[in-house]
Amino acid sequence: MPAKSYHKLVRDRIPEIIEADGKTCICKTLSDEDYLHLLDEKLNEELAEYQESKSLEELADLLEVMWAVVKARGWTLEDLERVRAEKAAKRGGFEKKILLKEVLEC
């Protein structure tokens, strides 16, 4: 059977899942710099998948990658929630469904 090549960041248990399926996989552990780069790529990938499917599962994948980015950059989930809450308090959320159409100079 021919080999299929990848260059993508995968979840931690993917290698064992592949091997449990009777296949062999070749992996490597990334440097911190490469990890952050591939996490950013993964964010784009997961966002595109969510935009195509609009599924809760894809939104959960996007959130999982966001949590990994937070940790990899040395922040905590509490830091993320604090910043989100501060911005919501200052600028609001998106509950009112407001579409800004135009701003006129006075």
Contacts of 61 (CB under 8 A, 6+ apart): 46, 49, 50
Question: What is the pTM (predicted TM-score) of this model?
Answer: 0.87
What does the pLDDT profile of the chain (106 residues) look like in tens digits? 689 999 999 999 999 999 999 999 999 999 999 999 999 999 999 999 999 999 999 999 999 999 999 999 999 999 999 999 999 999 999 999 999 999 999 9
Residue by residue, DSSP assigns 41-78 as HHHHHHHHHHHHH--HHHHHHHHHHHHHHHHHTT--HH
